[in-house]
Amino acid sequence: MAISAVSDTTLHEAPPPRRQRLLEDERWLAFVLLVPTIVLLGMFIAYPFIQGILLSVTSSRVGMRGDFVGLANFYKIFNDGIFRTAVYNTFLYTGVTTVFKLALGLWLAMLLNRNFRGKAFTRAFILLPFIIPTVLSTFAWKWMFDPTFSVLNWLLYHLGLITGRINWLGDPDLAMISIIIVNIWRGVPFFAISLLAGLQTISPELNEAAAIDGAKPWQRFWHITWPLLLPVTMVVMLFSVIQTFADFQIVYVMTGGGPANATHLFATYAYQIGIGTGLLSEGAAISLAMFPVLFLVVVIQLLYIRRVEVR
């Protein structure tokens, strides 16, 4: 009789509430957890991006809504010599800095991966350029490149390498080299720490086995370390290219796009046109002009990362 009573109770047990059933469904639970992220992305990324597109096809100015003009703004900036200079500078700036940050970051990561006294302090010290606020550190660099109070000029003069002052930020070529140096200085710690994390995942036994077989250090690096580190390297380079391509703070603080608009990048020129002169529609068009190029670069890198991981 007891067994029969328990069976009847189990058969007639009330089903769980509908809300509980929905939460137990992984699809609905995933959607609920993603809602805050979707809202934030919509507010701070999707909405400004759509507004930028709408502005770029109008004649809007500060305080004026403007009329629809189609692709006239894009046609105007493509015939602008300063815009072409900004395009060239952006690719040069991104390419040179990425190569040097990768080379120096990999070198530092290999050094920090060794066992030595004060290793933890050294790793923390390496991160300082990346931790310090960009504007603050850039102002320090601007003082170092100042033609009158430059510590670099003082050092080079006392070493006998120069006989007069060098106007680092007043010469177009030297100004470009200066902002590239600052970007490399700031970006190397990110590469070093990220690649160091990748090196930590590589088993030392692989290098030890290769050393026993007679492989030289550069052979062990090229055939063991580098292939295993390549997926991490590509991800780090992807983030670096995105950040460098849209860089604004370093150039704006150091040169403001000068001298004579010679160091403008996409972001600084868009700011100068959109905010400095009040031509919001043209500034939006300049900002959007870098989107297809950056999107193509990101897609190519992602496909290459996928290929490396599968291989």
pLDDT (tens digit per residue) in 86-115:
999 999 999 999 999 999 999 999 998 888
**240 close to 101: Cβ distance less than 8 angstroms:** yes
116-160 pLDDT, tens digit per residue, is 787 788 888 888 888 888 899 999 999 999 888 888 888 888 888
Instruction: For residue 236, tell me if it sits in a domain.
Output: yes
More confident residue, 163 or 11: 163
Number of residues written out for the chain: 311
Instruction: For residue 57, tell me if it sits in a domain.
Output: no
φ/ψ of residue 118, rounded to 5: 80, 25
pLDDT of res. 25: 67
Instruction: For residue 241, tell me if it sits in a domain.
Output: yes
225-255 pLDDT, tens digit per residue, is 888 898 889 889 988 998 899 899 999 999 9
**Residue in this structure with the two tokens 């502005």, named with its chain if needed:** 55
Q: What percent of the chain has pLDDT over 90?
A: 37
Range of the domain at 240: 82-310
pLDDT of res. 1: 46
Instruction: For residue 72, tell me if it sits in a domain.
Output: no
Mean pLDDT of 220-227: 87
Residue 265: closest CA among 89, 110, 6: 89
**Structure tokens given for 201:** 């995942």
Structural domain tally of the chain? 1
Residue 99: closest CA among 240, 297, 278, 193: 240
Q: Is 259 exposed, middle or buried (0-12, 13-18, 19+ CB in 10 A)?
A: middle
Residue 84: closest CA among 225, 274, 265: 265
**H/E run at residue 148:** none
Instruction: For residue 244, tell me if it sits in a domain.
Output: yes
Q: What is the pTM of this model?
A: 0.85
CATH of the domain at 276: 1.10.3720.10
pLDDT of res. 22: 62
Task: Assess whether pLDDT exceeds 60 at residue 60.
Answer: yes
Mean pLDDT of 4-17: 54
Instruction: For residue 262, tell me if it sits in a domain.
Output: yes
Task: Assess whether pLDDT exceeds 90 at residue 307.
Answer: no
Instruction: For residue 30, tell me if it sits in a domain.
Output: no
Instruction: For residue 288, tell me if it sits in a domain.
Output: yes
